[in-house]
Structure 1
């Protein structure tokens, strides 16, 4: 059932992507966020920029260490 009353707000979010065993975090990404579900929507130009950042392997602004857990353990 479609909810035609969904509410989207403009926010900046952290985009997370795992690719080739590496985890990428891109902060301050503009998105429209559904206030009820938290689902994030990105414009085509934003998606293009995200792909460009990851493909060109730009110098990161910082690096974080992240613990990894196994759900089945």
Structure 2
């Protein structure tokens, strides 16, 4: 199967130091077959700077949390 990557903007989520972060409109290469997202080193560095740099978020959302058990 040939993998085809296309440029898109995606929503990137991560948990860092017990907090959940959402970064919108992140440039990525996305595999059309699997949906796997690939990010350039510059993009990853920029995301880390946003979260660790103390910049105020553009908005804050409330997130429900459930335990699977």
TM-score (norm 2): 0.94
Q: Which runs of 4+ in 1 moved over 2 A?
A: none
Q: Runs of 5+ in structure 2 lacking a partner?
A: none
Q: Runs of 5+ in structure 1 lacking a partner?
A: none
Alpha-carbon displacement from aligned partner over 1:9-30 (angstroms, at most 9, x marks no partner): 1100011010111001000000
Structure number with larger C-alpha Rg: 1
- Aligned counterpart, 1:64: 61
- Aligned counterpart, 1:51: 48
Alpha-carbon displacement from aligned partner over 1:8-54 (angstroms, at most 9, x marks no partner): 11100011010111001000000001111111000111011011111
C-alpha RMSD of the superposition: 0.9
Tell me if 1:22 matches 2:19: yes
- The number of aligned residues is 69
Q: Matched residues in 2 for 1:64 and 1:13: separation? A: 18
TM-score (norm 1): 0.89
